[in-house]
Structure 1
């Protein structure tokens, strides 16, 4: 039996989970088995179901526009490089912490691969849509991920090898920078948690990227990157720059999550991915039943803006394993949690959960 994941909730151990959309539940479900393992990864199919991938592809593909920001491992926002900030902001004494971003994303049904491009735009003074200028581009494809798993509604978790470094764009006639990832660097990697909520006519998501380095096989969190994005139509490969038409606003210096809001009992429907070995093949998050999960303490949680948080803890089941978690509370009675377990063998396990509020 595989090592069990121990997410942010205290009273239950679930063997391999990824995300979770939880809701408070004062009356735990009859199916709850607090303190016991209720599912294992070995029971899951290794190959992603074609219908599930098709549904995922339809939900995740498109133009995702919004804002992004970088944070220290303690949750402090980082300013943009002074070289990209217009002089007017410095004259006004205004610090800039947010990037306006675009993320054209395409999931291919036949190959079950996903690729996306993050475009960070230079900050501008005033509001001129035609003034939007790319600062840097970073392209990623799931083919190079250490492991990744998806849910049909558009959420996913991915572990990326190596680290990214900015370089001048080598293409003739092209300006700006590109991000090149050294995938051969085993001493550094990144966990990406993509958490989706669908409220009426809009489709919103938060992406939390945690950058790690290994120190004697212990994952040490270096920085955190957040993206808050809204779906802006079918995939167009970022052909039109968002400018002032981009929805939302900068968030890096807005108040962080009150972690006390996480304390309590939450009712969750659990989904999990087959695991045990890292693989670049897609893994589908499969239903694993409903559980009442309880949170009684918040020590070690890094509070972030927009109802987000990050944490890294030693597994209570195996002191040589580490639980890497990111979560989002889009409303007071809901939260989405993505959990990834780093094993001493160098493998990763991931898990996901959905829930509905019991009235």
Structure 2
């Protein structure tokens, strides 16, 4: 992961006077005081360059897919569809929640003193994500820009921190040990280590779930779950969840086109929204309506078929079929926007855990859940399911 700290300046007085680029929009607050979507009052259009491939390269990568890379034309087609849905310029908000669902404030050195003087706790990053899924190579590359909070809209420069991540490499490796590549045609994905070291004290799993579209267009949630071992019991538990709620803005432009930088803190927030209910995050009232279970095809480099990575080939789950799971003691984290995380650990096996990351739709009668199971420090089962509330009269 490449991390950079940059400051983007406005193109001069003309830019602030109204000389915005073609993709710039200014959203105002109506008389009622309720912000419109998205409530951005000051936007700076900047031209940025970076390490991501150009947009022409993205189109070429999505067009020509060698079926031998993934073993079958069906897998190649799944990757083509995934690349179309995941690639693009996305815009949204990032917030970090601890294992109890409490939003964590931004590091103090990023927050202007005025917020502390006013007693305002800042927990949300405004962010932009440029993502490219290369279907021909099975790689996923994205760059995230986190805008520094500012006081008011008077600044003529926007500072932002930039992270560039190659989540999956052509050879099956990846960032944070994310060697397993599992994708769905709607743009959802799972990135996780295939094997955890026996002495591992932490683990990182990233899940992206396509959310139901609304009047604002396509949405998704990227959830990075950080797990650690309890120093006493050695059992796995959640340490924090980093949540990015994003909307699709436009096709992938290679990071070199005019992009929007949000100049005012508070344009969008998720940390102060109400958390999901306990019923939505539990397992008792839900049954699988549709879904995919994935079979990990390990690389052949290691003896016994136990390689360092591989692709997850999907198998359709039948309605009512149970996804991979473990029984044990469960700890649930309730987060805003219907999101939740749930870690289940068996009482007699410190090297196993069952992680669920999901989203419950409004009305709490349907939800989408990613299921990840580790046994003996190896990823043994994972699935993405669409579930419906069970009939209480049944």
Q: Normalized against structure 1, the TM-score is what? A: 0.70
Q: Partner of 2:81: helix, strand, or coil?
A: helix
Q: Partner of 1:347: helix, strand, or coil?
A: strand
Query: Any idea what the Cα deviations from partners look like across 1:62-106, whole Å, max 9, x if unmatched?
Result: 111100111222222111111111122122211101111111110
Match of 2:101 among 53, 65, 75: 75
Match of 1:286 among 299, 315, 329: 315
- Distance apart, 1:282 and its partner CA: 3.0
Return the alpha-carbon distance in structure 2 between the equivalents of residues 248 and 107 of structure 1: 29
- Distance apart, 1:356 and its partner CA: 7.4
Residue 277 of structure 2 corresponds to 258
Is the alpha carbon distance of 1:190 and 1:95 closer, same or farther for their aligned partners in structure 2, counting shifts above 3 Å? same
Return the alpha-carbon distance in structure 2 between the equivalents of residues 267 and 89 of structure 1: 46
Match of 1:204 among 219, 222, 232: 219
- Distance apart, 1:341 and its partner CA: 0.6
Instruction: Kindly indicate whether the alpha-carbon contact (under 8 Å) linking 1:268 and 1:293 is maintained by their aligned counterparts in 2.
Output: no
Is the alpha carbon distance of 1:275 and 1:131 closer, same or farther for their aligned partners in structure 2, counting shifts above 3 Å? same
Return the alpha-carbon distance in structure 2 between the equivalents of residues 87 and 345 of structure 1: 45
> 2:228 matched to 1:213?
yes
Return the alpha-carbon distance in structure 2 between the equivalents of residues 330 and 226 of structure 1: 16
Point out the structure with max Rg over C-alpha.
2
> 2:340 matched to 1:326?
no
Return the alpha-carbon distance in structure 1 between the equivalents of residues 264 and 79 of structure 2: 31
- Distance apart, 1:339 and its partner CA: 0.9
Residue 229 of structure 1 corresponds to 246
Residue 32 of structure 1 corresponds to none
Is the alpha carbon distance of 1:90 and 1:246 closer, same or farther for their aligned partners in structure 2, counting shifts above 3 Å? closer
Return the alpha-carbon distance in structure 2 between the equivalents of residues 65 and 129 of structure 1: 21
Query: Any idea what the Cα deviations from partners look like across 1:98-133, whole Å, max 9, x if unmatched?
Result: 111111110112111111122211111224696432
Match of 2:90 among 58, 64, 71: 64
- Distance apart, 1:186 and its partner CA: 4.8
Q: Partner of 2:273: helix, strand, or coil?
A: coil
Match of 1:337 among 369, 372, 386: 369
Alignment of 1:135-284 (within 5 A): 135-143=161-169, 144=174, 145-159=178-192, 186-199=200-213, 202-214=217-229, 218-239=235-256, 240-243=259-262, 249-262=268-281, 264-275=285-296, 277=298, 279-284=308-313
Match of 1:306 among 328, 331, 337: 337
Instruction: Kindly indicate whether the alpha-carbon contact (under 8 Å) linking 2:153 and 2:263 is maintained by their aligned counterparts in 1.
Output: yes
Instruction: Kindly indicate whether the alpha-carbon contact (under 8 Å) linking 1:327 and 1:336 is maintained by their aligned counterparts in 2.
Output: yes
Alignment of 1:14-163 (within 5 A): 49-127=75-153, 131-143=157-169, 144=174, 145-159=178-192
Structure 2 unmatched runs, 5+: 1-69, 299-306, 324-328
Instruction: Kindly indicate whether the alpha-carbon contact (under 8 Å) linking 1:149 and 1:350 is maintained by their aligned counterparts in 2.
Output: no
Structure 1 unmatched runs, 5+: 1-44, 163-182
Query: Any idea what the Cα deviations from partners look like across 1:254-304, whole Å, max 9, x if unmatched?
Result: 22111124552445112111127575433243322211779xxx9621111
Instruction: Kindly indicate whether the alpha-carbon contact (under 8 Å) linking 2:351 and 2:377 is maintained by their aligned counterparts in 1.
Output: no
**How big is the alpha-carbon RMSD for the aligned residues of Structure 1 and Structure 2?**
3.6
Instruction: Kindly indicate whether the alpha-carbon contact (under 8 Å) linking 1:276 and 1:347 is maintained by their aligned counterparts in 2.
Output: no
- Distance apart, 1:312 and its partner CA: 0.7
Instruction: Kindly indicate whether the alpha-carbon contact (under 8 Å) linking 1:265 and 1:292 is maintained by their aligned counterparts in 2.
Output: no
Q: Partner of 2:82: helix, strand, or coil?
A: helix
Return the alpha-carbon distance in structure 1 between the equivalents of residues 254 and 108 of structure 2: 29
Q: Normalized against structure 2, the TM-score is what? A: 0.65
Is the alpha carbon distance of 1:245 and 1:198 closer, same or farther for their aligned partners in structure 2, counting shifts above 3 Å? farther
Q: Partner of 2:226: helix, strand, or coil?
A: strand
- Distance apart, 1:355 and its partner CA: 5.3
| Structure with bigger RCO (C-alpha 8 Å, 6+ apart) | 1
Residue 39 of structure 1 corresponds to none
Return the alpha-carbon distance in structure 2 between the equivalents of residues 148 and 317 of structure 1: 30
